[in-house]
Structure 1
Amino acid sequence: MSHQSNRGSHDDAEVSLRHRTARPGDPVIPGFHPDPSVCRVGDDYYLACSSFEYFPGVPVFHSRDLVHWTQLGNALDRPEQLRLPAGTPSSGGIYAPTLRHHDGRFWLIVTNVSEGGGNLIVTATDPAGPWSDPVPAPGVPGIDPDLAWEEDGTCWCTVAGVAQVRIDPSTGRTYGTPHGVWSGTPGAKAPEAPHLYRIGDHWYLLIAEGGTERGHGVSIARGPAPGGPFEPCPANPILTHRGTDHPVQNTGHADLVQGPDGSWWMVLLGVRPRGGTPGWHVLGRETFLAPVTWVDGWPVVGEVGPDPATLPWPLSPGPAEEHRDDFEPSGLRPSWISLRDRPAEHCTTAERPGWLTLRARGGSLDEPDVVFTGRRQQHLSCRARTLVDPAEGRGGLAVRLDERHHYAIEASGTEVRVIARVGSLRTVVAAHPVPAGPVVLGLTVTDPPPPHGPVTGPDVVSLGVEEPDGTFTVLAVLDGRYLSTEVAGGFSGRVLGMYAAAGTVRFDWFDYEPLDH
C-alpha cells in the first residue's frame, strides 16, 4: 500500500469526531489527570492538574457545566517556565497545582520537585495563555501549595503538612515563618492537598489524608481566621471509599467550587481498579465530580460521579473531540506531552510538512532521555495506530507507564519487533518481517479473555502490524497488570505515543479510537 493511498483511506474512514458521552460514575476528565484544582469566573469553570515528568506541564481545562471539559492549553509550555533535568525520575517533576482567580487575574501555584525547582507562581489574564514566567517562592516549604486572599488583599499560602505562611504572590516573598495550623485526623498519615476558603462566617480548611492509595480521603475543619484555630468536622472524613466495593477508589485531593446558581461541587481524584485481587488501575488518577450540600455549617458530599441528567443546568458538550492527528506544521495539540522537554531539534512538525519528526538522542524507552511524545490513555479500552517511516532510524509506538514498565512495537529497516519491559526484565517478545518503507503499527487495549478469576489482570495489550494487503497481524498479547500503578508504583498513568530510539523517525499520522462505548 502506498503512502498516499494509506493516508487517504484513513482520512475517509478513521477520522473520529464525537462528543464524549457522560455517564453516572464516569470521571469528568478521564485518564492521567490527578490533583484537580478548580475555580469559577462568571459562568465559566477552569481546572488544572498535575503533570509530573511530562512537558508541557499543568494542563488547563475549561467547562460550562462541570461535566464536559476542553483543554485550553498548558500553563507551563515554555522551557524557561519548566525545567525538568534529564535525571528527573518518573513521577518526579510537577506536583499538585492550585488554580485561583483574584483581582482580574488567574493565579497558579505549583511545586517542581526536580533539582533546582521548588514552589513557583505563574499568572495569566487568559487561562488559555500565555502564562507568565514563574515567580519562585523560596520561603514556601514542601508541596501542594494553596493561595487564599482575605478581603483586604492579604494572601496566605498553605502547604502539605499542614503549614501556612503569608505571601506576596506577585513577588514570591513570604513574611514570617511557616507555622502549623492543623494536622488532620489523629493517626491519619499524609495530611496534604490543603485548600483554604472563606465561606459565610468561617474559614474552611479542606485537606486530603490517608495517602493517595486505597486509604485516601477528604477531611475538613473550620475556624474564625485563615490561621484558625481550626475545629475539625465531626463527620470526618467527609469523603472516602476505603473499605468499600465502590468502582471508584483512592478518592481524595479535592477542591470546592460554587456554581452560579448557588450550588456547591467538589472535584477530586480517584482511580478505577479492575481485575482480580488486589485490583489494578492503569489510567492513573482521574478527575471526578461530586455534589456538595451544607448541613449545620459542614459540607456533605454526595455520590462521586453523579448522573449528569440530575445536574441543575443544561449540559454544554462543547466542541467534538478529534482523535486523529495528521500533524499540522503549526505544531502539536495541547494534549500531546513529551518526556521532560521538547526541543525542536528532537521533536517537530515543521521539518517535513504533515509528519511528526522525532530525532533520537540515543538509547531506548528504558533510558531517561528517550525522545517520546504521546497522549494520555483516557479509555479502559482503546486502539492506537500510527504510520511510521523508519528509513533513517529506529522507533515506533509504545504504551508507557515509566522507564521500567512499557510495551512497544518498534520498526527498523525491514523488521518490526515487540518489546516488553517489566522491572529489570527487558525482552523481545516477537519479530516480524515487513517490506522496506512506511509501515502501520498498532496496539489495542481490551478486557482480558475469560475465564476471569481472582488473579485476572485488568486488561490485555495487543501489539501488531498492518500487512501490505491491509490485514492486521497481531504479534503479541501482553498482560496489562504490569503497566499498572499497583505493580510499577508512582503517581502517573499510561501514555500512548511515538518514540525514536535511534536516528530520525517520522510519523505521518496518529489515530486513537475509544472502544469503551
Structure 2
Amino acid sequence: MPRFYDNPVIGGFHPDPSVCRVGEDYYLVCSSFEYFPGVPIFHSRDLVHWRQIGNVLDRPEQLPLPPDTPASRGIYAPTIRHHDGRFWLITTNVSTGGNFIVTAERPEGPWSDPVWIDLPGIDPDLAWDDEGNCWAAFQGVGVARIDPEAGKVLDGPWPIWSGTGLQWPEAPHLYRIGDWWYLMIAEGGTERGHTVAMARARSPRGPFEPSPVNPILTHRGTDHPVQSTGHADLVTTPDGDWWMVLLATRPRGFTPGFHVLGRETFLVPVEWVDGWPRVGTVELRARAPRAWHPWEPPPARDDFDAPVLGHEWISPRSRPDTSWSLAERPGWLTLHATGSTLDASGCTFVGRRQQHPECRVEVRLDPGWARAGVSVRLDEAHHYDLEVCDGRVEVIARIGPLRNVVARRAVPPGAVVLAVTTRTDDLLPPSATGAHDIALGTAATGPDTIAFHLGADLLAELDGRYLSTEVAVGFTGRVIGMYATEGSASFDWFEYRERGADVPA
C-alpha cells in the first residue's frame, strides 16, 4: 500500500473546504463566489482521490446573483453535514439574501431551494446535540439555536469566543467529541497570516477555553512552499483516525510571491494529545491514508458529445439557456454572445479552473462571423485573451485600466486550433534576461509565463503575475475558458492537460 500522497488533494480555486463522512464515503464542498453553478461537491473513499459529482446550487433560483455582482462576491464558505438521513448545507450569498440552508437526500442532488435564515455574518456552521437541537455558529464568533427546516432563530445569537486576538475570527465549526464541545476557527486573515485555532466548552454556548497550543496550525512567517493555511474542517475515518481539510496557497516568484490558482484544498493528519488536536506541517508530499495520487481531475478532453455540460464548467454570475447549446451543432458547443466585452459582466463565457501551475489548454474554434476565443480570466479587469475575429487572431492583455493588443496575425477562414500554455521555468523572455535589463531592475520574476499559440505557432508570451491575487486582489483563482462577445461561435473540443502529462507543452 502506498505511503504518500501529493497536496493539494483538490487543486486550483477550491477554497474554504468543508467535509462530512457517511459510512465509508466522504463528501466535500467549496466556496464558488461569483460563479454559476455554485458550490462544487466532491466524493471520495480515501480523502485523497476526489471526484466532482455535481454542484449544489445548479439552478438560477438557488443562486440569485445580480448582473452587477462584483468579482469575489456571491457564495462564501459552505458547511456540509449529514444528519438524520439527510445532507444539510449552510452558506452565505453575500450579494443577495445572506445566510441560507439547502438539503438533499443524495449528495448528487437535487438540492432544495434555499431556506433563508436571519443570522449575522458569514461562514455559518451546523451542529446537532444529543437532544436534537441544531446550533449554528457564524463569523465573529457567535452561536444560535435554530430551526433549520423553517429557517428560524429560536434562541440567541450569543457571542461565544473571539479567538486569540488576531483579525477576522471566522470559519467556525462546532464538534461534539466525548464530553466536550470543540470550536475550531480561522483567524489572522486569509492571506499569509492565516491560522487555525481551537477552544472547548461543556456546552455549545460556552464558556470556551482556548487550546494551550494555539494556533494549532499556521505557516505564517515561514519559507514553506505552502502558505495561507487555514479555514479548516475535521473528519474521522471509519477506523477512528482524524484528518483535517483546509485551504492554502502555493505562491511563486520574487517577493511578495504570487499565487495564481486561488486557494486550494489540502489535507493533513491530526493527532489528539491531552484532549487537544495537534496538527503537523502541511507538506506537498505527505503520508497518505490509503492512496498515492491526488484528486481525480475532470476528463482531459471534452468533445461536447454529451447532452449536458460537465460539472466542471462554470460561468460568471449566470449561464442563460439562450447563451449556449450542445444541440444546435451536435458534437460542438455553440456560444451566443450576450455581452460585447469580457471587461464587463454579462458576457458569454464557459470555463474551468486552472488546477496545475503548468498546464496546456487547446481548443478547436469555428468562429464563423463571430468574435470569440479562449481567455485566461481572473476577473473583468484582469484577463488575457486569444481572440479570433474578421480574419485575424489577436492576443489581448487586460490589466487593470490598460487594454492592449500585444500580437496579431491573419488566419484563413474556417476552424482554427488555439492553445494557451503556462510554465514556471525560463520565466522571462530572452529580451529581458540580459545584463542591461538586470541593471535596470527588470529581472524580478513572476510566478509563471503564459504563452499563446495559433496551432504550433507562438504568438506572444505574457507575465503571469498580472493574473494573480496579489495584483488583482480577491478570493478566486484563474479560470480558463471559451467565450463569444459578438455573434455565435462553435467549439469542437476543449482539452486541458497538466504540462508534461501525455502531450508536450
TM-score above 0.5, yes or no: yes
Q: Once the two structures are aligned, what percentage of the paired residues are identical?
A: 62
Q: How far is 1:227 from its partner?
A: 1.0
Q: Separation in 1 of the partners of 2:500 and 2:204?
A: 45
Q: Which of residues 437, 441, 465 is equivalent to 2:418? A: 441
Distance in structure 2 (CA, Å) of the matches to 1:413 and 1:290: 52
Residue pairs, 1:415-430, within 5 angstroms: 415-430=392-407
2:114 alignment counterpart: 134
1:250 aligns with 2:228: yes
* CA–CA separation in structure 1 for the residues paired with 2:172 and 2:24: 25
Contact 1:38 1:257 in 2 (8 A): yes
Aligned: 1:353 with 2:330: yes
Mapped to 2, the partners of 1:315 and 1:450 lie a distance apart of 30
The residue aligned with 1:162 is 141
| Counterpart Cα distance in 1 of 2:68 and 2:184 | 34
Secondary structure at 1:353 match in 2: coil
Per the alignment, residue 450 of structure 2 pairs with 461
Equivalent residue number for residue 368 of structure 1: 345
Find the counterpart in structure 1 of residue 203 from structure 2. Answer: 225
Question: Quick one: which of 73, 85, 98 aligns to 2:54?
Answer: 73
Residue of structure 2 equivalent to 1:326:
303
Give yes or no for contact 2:9–2:294 (8 Å, CA) kept in 1: no
Query: Runs of 5+ in structure 2 lacking a partner?
Result: none
Q: Is 1:112 equivalent to 2:93 in the alignment?
A: yes
Work out whether 1:475 is the aligned partner of 2:449: no
Q: Is the 8 A contact 1:393 1:500 kept in 2?
A: yes
SS at match of 1:83: coil
Which whole-Å CA distance do the structure 2 matches of 1:502 and 1:364 have between them? 8
Residues 488 and 314 (structure 1 numbering): CA distance in 2 closer, same or farther, change over 3 Å? closer
**Aligned equivalents of 1:486, 1:71: Cα separation in 2:** 28
Q: Using the alignment, how far apart are the partners of 1:305 and 1:36 within structure 2?
A: 17
Say which SS state the counterpart of residue 64 (structure 2) adopts: coil
Letter of the 2:279 counterpart: V
Q: Is the 8 A contact 1:34 1:49 kept in 2?
A: yes
Match of 2:30 among 49, 67, 80: 49
Equivalence map 1:379-458=2 (5 Å)? 379-449=356-426, 455-458=444-447
Q: Deviations over 1:154-213 (max 9, x none)?
A: 001100010111111111111133221000012x00000000000111000000000000
1:81-120 residue CA offsets vs partner (Å, 9 max, x unmatched): 1111110010010000000000000000010011x32111
The 5-angstrom pairing of residues 144-163 of structure 1 reads 144-163=123-142
Shift of 1:449: 1.4
TM-superposed CA distance for 1:151, in Å, is: 0.9
Offset from partner CA, 1:239-290 (integer Å, 9 cap, x none): 0000001110000000000111110000000000001111000000000000
Q: Bigger shift: 325-334 or 241-250?
A: 325-334
Find the aligned partners of 2:427 and 2:40 in 1 and give their Cα distance.
38
CA distance in 2, matches of 1:362, 1:497: 16
CA contact (8 A) 2:71 2:379 kept: yes
TM-score (structure 2 length as normaliser): 0.94
Distance 1:409 1:434 in 2: 13
Amino acid at match of 2:211: C
Q: Give the Cα separation in 2 of the matches to 1:516 and 1:127.
A: 34
Task: Describe the SS at the equivalent of 1:345.
Answer: helix
Deviations 1:406-456 (A, max 9, x none): 101001131011100001101111110000111111110012416799821
Residue 104 of structure 2: aligned partner? 124
Secondary structure of 1:289 counterpart? strand
What amino acid is the match of 2:463? D
Does residue 476 of structure 2 align to residue 492 of structure 1? yes
Q: 2:495 pairs with 511, 514, 517, which one?
A: 511
**For residues 205-216 of structure 1, what are the structure 2 equivalents within 5 Å?**
205-216=183-194
Structure 1 residues 233 and 93 mapped into 2: Cα distance closer, same or farther (>3 Å)? same
Matched, 1:276 2:254: yes
Does the residue aligned with 2:48 lie in a helix, a strand or coil?
coil
Q: What is the distance in 2 between the residues matched to 1:111 and 1:134? A: 11
Q: Which runs of no fewer than 5 residues in structure 1 stay unpaired?
A: 1-20, 467-471
The residue that corresponds to 1:11 in the other structure is: none
Distance (whole Å) between structure 2 residues aligned to residue 22 and residue 417 of structure 1:
48
Deviation (angstroms), 1:321: 4.7
TM-score norm. by structure 1 comes to 0.91
Structure 2: how far apart are the matches of 1:24 and 1:56?
30
AA partner of residue 464 (structure 1): H
Equivalent residues, number: 488
Q: Distance in 2 between the 1:241 and 1:98 partners?
A: 24
**Given the superposition, is the C-alpha separation of residues 72 and 450 from structure 1 closer, same or farther in structure 2, using an over 3 Å criterion?**
closer
Partner Cα separation in structure 2 for residue 378 and residue 430 of structure 1: 27
Q: How far apart in 2 are the matches of 1:516 and 1:501?
A: 32
Q: 1:503 to 1:449 in 2, by over 3 A?
A: same
Give the residue type in structure 1 aligned to 2:260.
V
Q: Deviations over 1:15-62 (max 9, x none)?
A: xxxxxx996552000000000000000011100000001000000000
Secondary structure of the equivalent of 2:465? Answer: helix
- Name the residue aligned to 1:178: 157
- Compared CA separation, residues 192 and 318, structure 1 to 2 (3 A): closer
SS at match of 1:391: coil
Residue pair 1:379, 1:516 contacting (<8 A) in 2 also = no
Asked if the contact 1:22/1:28 (under 8 Å) is kept, the reply is no
In structure 2, the residue corresponding to 1:253 is in which secondary structure?
Answer: strand
Q: 1:491 to 1:312 in 2, by over 3 A?
A: closer
Shift of 1:312: 4.4
Q: 1:264 aligns with which of 242, 262, 284?
A: 242
In the other structure, the counterpart of 2:270 is: 292
Measure, in 1, the Cα distance between the counterparts of 2:4 and 2:60: 38
Cα 1:314–1:474 change in 2 (3 A) is closer
